Amino acid sequence: MFAWNHRGLLDGRLTGQKLTTSVCFAASSGFFLLGYDQGVMSGIITEPIFLQQFPQMAPTNKSGAIQALVVAIYEIGCLIGAAGIIAFGDKLGRRRAVIIGASIMLVGAAIQTSSFGIAQLIVGRIVTGVGNGMNTSTIPVWQSEMAPPKIRGFLVLFEGALITAGIALSYWLNYGFWFVTQYGSFQWRFPIAFQCLFGVILIIGVWLCPESPRWLLKHGKEEDAAIIMSHIHEADPQDPIIQEDIKEINELNAMTESQKLSWKELFTNGPEMNRWRFSVACGSQAFQQITGINLVTYYATTVFEMSLKFNGKNSRFITAWLGTEYFIAAVLALFIVDRFGRRNLMMFGAAGLAISLLIIGASLSAATDSNRKPAIAATVFIFVYDTAFAIGWLGVTWLYPAEITPLRIRAETNGFSTCSNWLFNYAVVQLAPIMINRIAWKTYFVFFCFNICFIPLVYLFFPEPNGHKLETLDAIFNEAHEKGENPVFTEKRWRKKGGRKASEPKANVGDAGHVVNEDEKENDRRLEDLNQQTRHDENIGERTGNGSV
């Protein structure tokens, strides 16, 4: 079918930077859609007209358990979609998987929009989640394999910023439709249906753009791959550089096929310390959700109405500005992530989150109908909380798993880390409204304790990947294994030895770009073996993205 033309409908009409920009635009609509879908229910679930249709979802009904189920079940759909990509994504290809995922989301949105019973609404949210899980597990891979290496890390964080942009738009739309009451259920049906616009844009964008050359070569479609690579590099398909890239990718694919990955490798602590790296990769994604962020994202309007006692109009207005501030903070993170490093941002982010949660909880405990000042203080620190999360945890934890894991287990580890994100996302979204109903302001102290714990955990167990080449990280873990020491301290020693960045040359520089001394000579052989994989990363792009947001 022409729909699956691997070169895309543009087929050479755009080349070079224009083609790369088109791919990034198409991919960005997928993450904007994710953010919109996450934020849209925040304002809807407290609208009187919505609750007339679904009275079971009243926040006070069964301590909010029904409301929590309907909202959180979306994450189970996302988990199913992400797991499906782990199992079948490579067979489908990048573009086909995204088009199928976006189409499923359109079906799910239609089911939700036309819902007249809670069972139908639940089915619609699950279906929408499945499509979203497929998209967020595939788009970063497709984008990173098409984008120049120098901007791949930026793109991962940019995806996080786009999620917040989608959230902000959904909040403002909810605020606007708060005043549209004369058309009955149109007040809440239209915001849900509006996401279909971004789904259609995503399908058209992916349809126009080409398939990943790396995936095509893996599946024996060398002619299409060469033509697409020629479009990316604005060169002839027979150009020696392109042919050399094709040769290297084919050799890497052959090596990978001859050495099949066993699941046991993910959980063994051999020379590459896969178990350690797998654990911190999944841990970073789990921690991101346990910070409590989706207590705010999904239930911001509910919190402002029920806990802070603002009226419906003001609650939605404050929520809309919260989403806007969240987006601005996420954009700020783009410019500081490489300056301060991943570890520092996660630790200082956790500290900022903990302080904010402590003040929010304390303020709510003192707030009364006659004393509104503590509620105002809590509102201010909800904004501070979102800022700390956007800078410290939003994008960094999607980047970290791809950076810290070796090439051989990277795709599988990213898949599992994404699943851990969706799983803990579900847990938080399911439990948060029940906790607010039963223990009120103490809910914030629970998440305060979690964030305090993350600071020493990150400090002790999460090595800093910023500034290191991928093969240098492998050598660092190899040395840590040989010496029986914590790789965090090994990495610090390498960084100190390098003078600037541990991966930058200083004096006697080896092929991998680090200072050679007696302790490091044993690693030279491994670094030389890894050079082939590194060249592939430099020229074509290996996955530095993540499964989802």
Per-residue pLDDT tens for 497-545? 873 444 444 433 333 333 334 344 444 444 444 444 444 444 444 333 3
Encoded amino acid at 530, one letter: L
Domain carrying residue 354: 15-209+268-461
Handedness of CA 60, 322, 428, 73 (dihedral sign): positive
9 within some domain: no
Q: Which residues, in sequence order, are CB contacts of 306 under 8 Å at separation 6+? A: 59, 436
- Range of lowest pLDDT (105-109, 432-436, 455-459): 432-436
Confidence of residue 39 (pLDDT cuts 50, 70, 90): very high
Considering the domain boundaries, does residue 544 fall inside one? no
Predicted local confidence at residue 534, as pLDDT: 43
Residue 225 in any domain: the answer is: yes
Considering the domain boundaries, does residue 175 fall inside one?
Answer: yes
Q: Are residues 394 and 489 in the same domain?
A: no
Does residue 229 form part of some domain? Answer: yes
pTM for the whole structure? 0.85
**Which of the two residues, 86 and 277, has the higher pLDDT score?**
277
pLDDT, position 537:
46
State how far the Cα of 265 lies from the Cα of 55, in Å rounded to an integer: 50
Torsions phi, psi for 319 (to 5 deg): -60, -40
DSSP characters for 45-94? TT-HHHHHH-GGG-TTGGGGHHHHHHHHHHHHHHHHHHHHHHHHHHHH-H
Name the DSSP letter for residue 542: -
**Is residue 132 domain-resident?**
yes
Which residue's entry shows tokens 């980047």? 399
> Are residues 135 and 284 both part of a single domain?
yes
Number of domains in the chain: 3
Residues 436, 292, single domain; the answer is yes
> Considering the domain boundaries, does residue 548 fall inside one?
no
In angstroms, the CA 165 to CA 173 distance is 12
Residues linked to residue 515 through DSSP beta bridges, in sequence order: 509
* Residue 457 and residue 361 share a domain: yes
Instruction: Say if residue 151 is in the same domain as residue 227.
Output: no
Same domain, 389 and 513: no
d(CA 129, CA 160): 18
Q: What is the CATH number of the domain that holds 20?
A: 1.20.1250.20
- Whether residue 48 sits in one domain with residue 139: yes
Same domain, 245 and 386: no
Q: Are 366 and 445 in a shared domain?
A: yes
Do 399 and 289 reside in the same domain of the chain? yes
- pLDDT at residue 69 in the model: 95
* Interval 182-227: pLDDT, tens: 999 999 999 999 999 999 999 999 999 999 998 999 899 999 999 9
pLDDT score recorded for residue 4: 64
Q: DSSP 3-state assignment of 515?
A: strand
Write out the two tokens for 95: 């573009």
Q: Helix H segments across 114-212?
A: 118-146, 152-177, 186-208
Q: Is the pLDDT of residue 143 over 90?
A: no
Helix (H, G, I), strand (E, B) or coil at 509: strand
484 plus 436 within the same structural domain: no
Q: Domain for residue 262, yes or no?
A: no
Instruction: Mark whether 220 and 187 lie in a shared domain.
Output: no
